[in-house]
Structure 1
């Protein structure tokens, strides 16, 4: 087959996969399977990156790469993810095994990496399998997420070569200014007004005035929620945490705060529905907090600070999509829906700080 001829029947997904170059690169790696890739399927995932399931000699491999239109830091972020997965090898943190990474954009037009496929599903909307019908399986989901977050919190960044992954100095005190500046940065988009996000200044002031006494620095996943956790369909357990692009150094208890933002229970502000259904037998936030404290030995009296910070930070990130909708890059109805969730988050944060 000539070098410039793609393998028969393999979609290149609009130029995202250069098959002659990619197959040549894959065959030079020590990874599962043998020979060239003979099958490919694009997997559902986030908007930020593209994920593909490859078949190589009967072995399944997942390829993750940035979108076709690269952002200034797309390649750097992809290699950062690959580095984190490499560093977690052998740890008790559930994650896909890392196979190989490529920092040469000449191969497929961007940096990419290959990893182990995970059995199961990332729960969003209707639950699948026994999770949909068995109360015990649903009851296990929250504790499983907390155990995974606690396992990550126990990893020593220096011991796994990640001591330079972020800026740990004065991390807690810097959070409000860091995320406020991001929100204010969206104001350069015509039609977007940061003041449309309610309670934001009030929550930020409270966070600045109530810094936790116990402060630890470790690895933070950065987006620890249902959409980024694969649950096995064979047993009520996590098969792996995915999407490590926001991983950095900071206080790992923020991952618990993130889990709490995705939870739902009576007494929450109106305007948000459970992220998965049926939402029964999931236990309370108090149950999750208690378990995290038992597993980590942390002083859980600081939980409201991390919970409020999770709401504050996530609202800021979501408002980026709102700004994009004002610029016509995202459908207006998506922007409206996302702004509704961001508003719920800052309203929930205000409820948290009120005690």
Structure 2
């Protein structure tokens, strides 16, 4: 539990609004990586993001990395949480932390149904998809060098490293054969994007990691959860977002294609078209990014499956991984894209 009195003292010393007033707080979300609390102090309403005591040591650097990204986004067109203040001194609350503006709105994460009016109005629901695509399109346009993120990642050789990195990772955790893995890996080695323009990557871009404003029309409120943020190829975010997107979002099976109901959403082609229009980037080589996204996600989920034990949620990753690898290999084989 956070020592909120100690936090109040630190906020006073940092010259933040609400000096001397008590902190009202409410737990919002959290897990093994980070915890988030809403904080109200006088007229200031914000949120604290801090690794819990049991989080691995590398989360200290991770949370400061997240801070750099949201701070860099201030003043851009990218919907984001406002950067309020950061504390790198772990002696204050036990771990480094940062304060960000409180976002009014809602998250698709953990919902069984879309909120009104998106539950019944499919035209309004389509706007959620277009806004999702627009978020990373705007992100891809940010001048990351001018925003001080020149040392955030290693954009040079980004694609050359992908296959070796994730193959090595899989070999370290491997507990079974994954049909399709080698075929997709070989295809990725033999192909490269038509162009590569480095930019800010979210790293895990999907409905679960954005927030929307209340009511229609759909309006993106913020991109959130920057744990995987880096400088790399922004179009991998596009592939990640669309890797399980159904071709026909009007079909009944679109309701089961993801953890959210995708019926009424824009088609994959419409999502690609909107991204291309807003970002100014070509998407003719999207098959490369879809193969890479499916293949990489399969490796990531395989780690969870290998350590599942009796955890039913992690055990469910087992067949999903096999489907992802099969899909990656099939798409690679059928793709007309050549680098």
Q: Which runs of 5+ in 1 are unaligned?
A: 1-11, 188-192
SS at match of 2:40: strand
Query: In the alignment, what sits opposite 2:298?
Result: 315
Q: Offset of 1:277 from its aligned partner? A: 4.5
Q: Offset of 1:93 from its aligned partner? A: 0.7
Query: In the alignment, what sits opposite 2:7?
Result: 22
Q: Offset of 1:248 from its aligned partner? A: 0.7
CA contact (8 A) 1:153 1:252 kept: yes
Query: In the alignment, what sits opposite 2:312?
Result: 333
Query: In the alignment, what sits opposite 2:173?
Result: 186
Name the CA distance, whole Å, in 1 between partners of 2:186 and 2:306.
24
Name the CA distance, whole Å, in 1 between partners of 2:330 and 2:19.
56
Matched, 1:345 2:324: yes
Query: In the alignment, what sits opposite 1:258?
Result: 240
Q: Offset of 1:341 from its aligned partner? A: 2.9
Name the CA distance, whole Å, in 2 between partners of 1:262 and 1:60.
37
1:247 paired residue among 217, 226, 229: 229
Query: In the alignment, what sits opposite 1:175?
Result: 162
For residues 72-87 of structure 1, what are the structure 2 equivalents within 5 Å? Answer: 72-87=57-72
SS at match of 2:13: coil
Name the CA distance, whole Å, in 1 between partners of 2:95 and 2:62.
11
> Deviation string for 1:229-261 (max 9, x for gaps)?
001113311000000111111111111101102
> Which ranges of 4 or more aligned residues in structure 1 deviate by more than 6 Å?
none
Q: Offset of 1:61 from its aligned partner? A: 1.3
SS at match of 1:215: coil
Name the CA distance, whole Å, in 2 between partners of 1:185 and 1:262.
27
Q: Which runs of 5+ in 2 are unaligned?
A: none
Q: Offset of 1:345 from its aligned partner? A: 2.3
CA contact (8 A) 1:54 1:60 kept: yes
Query: In the alignment, what sits opposite 1:234?
Result: 215
CA contact (8 A) 1:183 1:194 kept: no
Query: In the alignment, what sits opposite 2:139?
Result: 152
Change (3 A) 1:67 1:171: same
Change (3 A) 1:278 1:300: closer
CA contact (8 A) 2:248 2:254 kept: no
Matched, 1:222 2:203: yes
Change (3 A) 1:304 1:77: same
Name the CA distance, whole Å, in 2 between partners of 1:34 and 1:311.
49
> Deviation string for 1:77-131 (max 9, x for gaps)?
0000001111111011110001001111111111110001112222133211222
CA contact (8 A) 1:77 1:245 kept: yes
Q: What TM-score do you get using the length of structure 2 for normalisation?
A: 0.90
Name the CA distance, whole Å, in 2 between partners of 1:70 and 1:162.
25
CA contact (8 A) 2:8 2:23 kept: no
Query: In the alignment, what sits opposite 1:118?
Result: 103
Name the CA distance, whole Å, in 2 between partners of 1:319 and 1:32.
46
Change (3 A) 1:344 1:49: farther
For residues 28-177 of structure 1, what are the structure 2 equivalents within 5 Å? Answer: 28-45=13-30, 47-124=32-109, 125-177=112-164
Q: CA RMSD for the aligned pairs?
A: 2.3
SS at match of 1:167: coil
Aligned residues: 329
